[in-house]
Homo-oligomer: A and B are copies of this chain.
Amino acid sequence: MPKVFEKKELIKKSENFSEWYTDVILKAKLADYAPVRGCMVFRPYGFAIWESIQKHLNSMIEKAGVKNAYFPLFIPYSFLKKEKKHIKGFSPELAVVTHGGGKELKEPLVVRPTSETIMYAMFAKWIKSWRDLPLLINQWCNVVRWEKRTYLFLRTMEFLWQEGHTCHATKAKAKKEALRALKMYQEFDEKFLAIPVISGKKSESEKFPGALNTYTLEGLMPDGKVLQCGTSHELGQNFSKPFEIKFQDKRKKSKYVWQTCWGMSTRIVGALIMTHGDDAGLILPPKIAPIQVVIIPIFGKGATQNKKILNLSSKIKEDLENSGIKVTLDERKQYTPGWKFNEWELKGVPLRIEIGQEEVNKNYLTVVRRDNGQKSKVKSQRSKMQIKIQKLLDEIQVNLYKKAEKFLKENTHKVEDYGEFKKIMKEKRGFIWAFWCQNPKCEAKIKEETKATTRLLPLRARKQSGKCIFCGKKAEYLWLFGQAY
């Protein structure tokens, strides 16, 4: 048997969160730094997580009647300039193609940072009548926003995402669609990723460049910082007017459409890693894990006995696959069981099944949960085993959500004193509910002094009488504050 490789130990999450984050990504082979500054490579295991996210989210998008399409990577610079806030927002982040086919271009092309302008030029061509509405389009693609520093998954020059873009006959219908998308993301975050989020509306300064209203979902990471977990925008007629997206209504009157857009990106993989992982590595929620169960045969010295162990392992694998569970059988001979335990723990596989001589002789499986290390014996008889394993996976999914929800609750504070606000943001961070007078100057000052920004105002916020946490003037609503990633 070849000698077992040495494995350098993982940095502990409990000791150094941000170093653990990068370390676990590299060691679990989720991703790697690319030779181009600001870019990353999605390695197969990391990409499989994204594919799993795509699969589930795409089916939710499809169910809402939204159709996938694909628009060009390159956008003429002049298109981006048509909506003033939009170009202002994206201008510092653009990658620009100036040469093509060996010649300098007359008009430079921008590599899409987002696709509003190129899509809407086409929508204007396609939409003629009320019969063409609503137009519901989604695109899975790569986008580029210039970055110098790479923070794997969370901040990269190129990232992958989906962007939904819809056109409607009325403002009310557009708003409904924007809120539908928000709800869809919330369901996805909570049910699939097991990440609890708070939903609401962005302040003026935090809105998407060109939007009328931006809705957002915000999740709290273990270091007390906040990560956006999906966002949707009411664009109003801000784009339909410059792009001339008009339709003839039932009374033959020409009108501009009302638009929305909404997106989720590979940043969410970062949230997934941060939220659930521990000192031993990743912990993936079963519903999103590319491998839900790993079977590790514990070979002994007898060849006949080893054959029985492998046979039972293969049978269990088949039985689980037949009940729709994603299983890997790690029968590699060059690694010891202990090495394999570490490896699959590092990779966050929710359940491990151990099968050795004892298990074969007594017809049971030893099953170990990744989330809490609990070991149990499961009878190896097919149908009961299938049900029990599925039940364990469901329990892990729920447990991960509950753990994250507990953390979120424990780290959310209602604060009325700015001194306390500053202290919390300096020491442990987290979410803070505080009154804000909605003056952008107070918001900017708070950011400057505490790094915390307004994250959202809940959709059905209760009007109260309070005092702005910063200036002390009259304030009617509690806003959610936090330090954004």
Chain B residues whose C-beta falls within 8 Å of the C-beta of A377 in the assembled complex:
none
How many residues in A have their beta carbons less than 8 Å from beta carbons of B?
A: 58
Pick the interface stretch among A141-149, A257-265, A318-326.
Answer: A141-149
Pick the interface stretch among A62-70, A216-224, A416-424, A460-468.
Answer: A62-70
Decide if A39 touches B74 in the complex (CB within 8 Å). yes
A87 is an interface residue with CB less than 8 A from chain B: no
Chain B residues whose C-beta falls within 8 Å of the C-beta of A101 in the assembled complex:
92-95, 146-148
Tell whether A36 pairs with B109 under 8 Å between CB atoms, given A41-B71, A72-B158: yes
A42 is an interface residue with CB less than 8 A from chain B: yes
User: CB within 8 A of A51: which of B68, B97, B122?
Assistant: B68
A406 is an interface residue with CB less than 8 A from chain B: no
User: CB within 8 A of A32: which of B48, B125, B137, B334?
Assistant: B125
Decide if A39 touches B72 in the complex (CB within 8 Å). yes
The CA-CA distance from A294 to B137 in the complex, in Å, is: 22
Decide if B94 touches A95 in the complex (CB within 8 Å). no
The CA-CA distance from A109 to B39 in the complex, in Å, is: 12
Chain B residues whose C-beta falls within 8 Å of the C-beta of A382 in the assembled complex:
none
Chain B residues whose C-beta falls within 8 Å of the C-beta of A51 in the assembled complex:
68
The CA-CA distance from A360 to B102 in the complex, in Å, is: 65
The CA-CA distance from A32 to B69 in the complex, in Å, is: 11
Decide if A121 touches B35 in the complex (CB within 8 Å). yes
User: CB within 8 A of A44: which of B32, B69, B118?
Assistant: B69
Tell whether A122 pairs with B34 under 8 Å between CB atoms, given A69-B42, A102-B92: yes
Map CB proximity to B onto A48-86 as digits: 1 under 8 Å, 0 otherwise.
Answer: 101100000000000000011111111110010000000
A96 is an interface residue with CB less than 8 A from chain B: yes
The CA-CA distance from A41 to B70 in the complex, in Å, is: 6
Among all A-B residue pairs, the 10 with the closest Cβ atoms:
A101-B146, A44-B67, A42-B70, A39-B72, A96-B99, A98-B98, A34-B72, A95-B100, A100-B146, A47-B69
Provide 9 A-B residue pairs closer than 8 Å at the C-beta atoms, listed in order of the A residue.
Answer: A36-B118, A39-B72, A41-B69, A41-B122, A44-B67, A44-B68, A91-B102, A93-B101, A101-B146
